[in-house]
Structure 1
Amino acid sequence: MAKNKESFARTLFIVVGLCLICSIFVSTAAVLLKPTQQENKLLDKQKYILEAANLIDSKSQVTKQEILDTYEKFVEAKVINLKTGDEVTGVNADTFDQQKASRDPETSSVPEHDIASIKRVADNAVVYLVHDEAGKVTSVILPVHGYGLWSTMYAFLAVEPDLNTVQNLVYYSQGETPGLGGEVENPVWKAKWKGKKLFDEQGNVAISVTKNPAIAETPYGVDALSGATLTSNGVQHSLTFWLGEEGFANFIKKARNGGLS
């Protein structure tokens, strides 16, 4: 009996020891890998921003250094306050985590008209100004997100300096059904956004993701995704919210009045 107890104690000691060693190893690896993970996450975001700005082709292979150099040369990130539309100084726009800020009650609020089902909206957001070789703004990129059928879908909306004409709508994170809602990433569907208008002559949000061919052929319409009504609605609601008063409306108004620099 004593031998059995001794054997059990020894086995337990070994198991506990192995668990402790493994936990230390995993924790150490997580700490050591965190800077690399954050760097890769930032690089991935910059790649999608460059794609939205037509500075790289999503189909071509680009190196890490090419992404970094192109982004640094042509893209200027700014943190803006959504309520005022003014730039927020003293904040690193390239590392500002808007998603994290939206989860903190101290830096976010519950939207009054949560049509995009985002639950909370951060007080501040990042916008990206894309310049040409001469320093002239050629594109403004707005991050937008909203809930589709299964997931929150994140995208970069690139518009002309008039803040009305669409250049690109690039979804970079979504969990919709492959072949249906997942087609938000299909180049054929993405191409349908180019040249579309977001606002009517009265300044109202007019862009429509629609099943009506007659509307889709107008400057304000884009074909809805076939067989993915709720995902298409999610795209519509995302744009309606983020182009509205609780989104980028105040920034857009100021930018149109000479705020782009």
Structure 2
Amino acid sequence: MSANNDSFIKTIIVAVSLCLVCSVLVSTTAVSLKDQQTANASLDKKKNILVAANLFKPDTDIEQAFANIERKFVDIETGRFVSVDNPATFNQRQNAKDPATSIKIEDDIAKIKRRSKVASVYLVRDGAKVETIILPIRGSGLFSTLYGFIALKSDKQTIVGLKFYEHGETPGLGGEVDNPNWLALWPGKQLLDNNGKPVLKLVKGGGNGNSEVDALSGATMTTNGIRNMLKYWMGDDAFGPFLAKLDVNTGDA
């Protein structure tokens, strides 16, 4: 009986020791890779911004190309540029979860519940003049929240490009938001009218008009989600005031 007890105790000791060793190894690996993971996430974000602005090619040096893009911070309510305490660590997604740095959305057509009071926007300039405006957007599809960037020409109406970088939509259906052939339909389309109001439509089996894009086949909920998120983010409760105030000749807002 004693031998059995000794064997049992030894088994427990070995199991606990193995768990402790594995925990230390996993923790050490996670900590050691954190900086690399953060750097990779930053590089991927920059790439997606470049894609939206139609400035990315397979041989593009991402850091070098992104150096020509200016990041600014906008108070969404006023549409004015503001400064933030720590620009390098500013996280719009995290801010949207904190009641102190976000607001509850009343007319929540994008189904995101809250938004950050301040947003990052990105400008491509030719000297002082703004050539391209890149705006972050997000909204609910069928199964997930879609996160992306939309880029506009200096007329503040015409789409330069669209890129979604994170979502959980159904592969082959709503997941076609990643399809380069579908994304290629967006550049040159009119998103806003002369009064800054959203006019772009997603049309089933069509999309030949100046303000029309072919809807995603078999993905009605995802298509509706994209339409609603664009309507929200380009509207008066989001980037509408900023676009109205932005002087593309000077870059001031």
For 1:202, give the aligned amino acid: N
1:32 CA displacement: 1.3
Provide closer, same or farther for how the CA distance between residues 186 and 251 of structure 1 changes in structure 2, counting only shifts above 3 A: same
User: What residue number does 2:21 align with?
Assistant: 21
* 2:192 equivalent among 191, 199, 210: 199
Aligned sequence identity (%): 44
Q: Which residue of 1 aligns with 2:6?
A: 6
The structural deviation recorded for 1:204 is 2.0
Kept in 2: contact 1:77–1:93 (CA 8 A) = no
Structure 1's consecutive aligned runs of 4 or more residues displaced over 3 angstroms after TM superposition are: 90-95, 256-259
Match in the other structure for 1:170: 163
Which of 134, 147, 151 pairs up with 2:144?
A: 151
Higher helix share: 1
Q: Which residue of structure 2 aligns with residue 107 of structure 1?
A: 101
User: Structure 2: 5+ residue runs without aligned partners?
Assistant: none
Q: 1:210: Cα distance to partner?
A: 2.3
Q: 1:217 corresponds to which residue?
A: 208
The whole-number CA distance in structure 2 between the counterparts of 1:141 and 1:227 is 29
Give the Cα–Cα distance (whole angstroms) in 2 for the partners of residues 148 and 196 of structure 1: 22
Deviation at 1:75, TM superposition (A): 0.4
Q: What CA distance in whole angstroms lies between the structure 1 residues aligned with 2:21 and 2:120?
A: 42
RMSD: 1.8
Match of 1:237 in 2: 228
Once residues 91 and 254 of structure 1 are traced to their aligned partners in structure 2, the CA distance between those partners, rounded to angstroms, is: 23
2-side partners of 1:227 and 1:111: how far apart? 29
Contact (CA 8 Å) 1:77, 1:127: kept in 2 or not? yes
Could you give the per-residue CA deviations for residues 22-70 of structure 1, whole angstroms, max 9, x where no partner exists?
A: 111111111111111010000000011111112112xx244xxx11111
Conserved? CA contact 2:129–2:248, under 8 Å: no
Contact 2:73 2:84 (C-alpha < 8 Å) held by counterparts:
no
Flag structure 1 segments of 5+ consecutive residues without an equivalent.
Answer: none
Deviates more, 1:88-97 or 1:171-180: 88-97
CA distance in structure 2 between the partners assigned to 1:164 and 1:9 by the alignment: 73
CA distance in 1, matches of 2:173, 2:239: 29
Counterparts of 1:249-260 in structure 2, within 5 Å, are 249-256=240-247, 260=251
TM-score of the superposed pair, with normalisation by structure 1: 0.90
Worse-superposed segment, 192-201 or 27-36:
192-201
Q: Deviations over 1:219-252 (max 9, x none)?
A: 2221111111111101101101111122111111
* 1:77/1:128 contact within 8 Å kept: yes
> What secondary structure does 1:143 align onto?
strand
Counterpart-to-counterpart distance in 1, 2:170 and 2:102: 30
TM-score by length of 2: 0.93
Aligned length in residues:
252
| Cα deviation, residue 212, structure 1 | 7.0
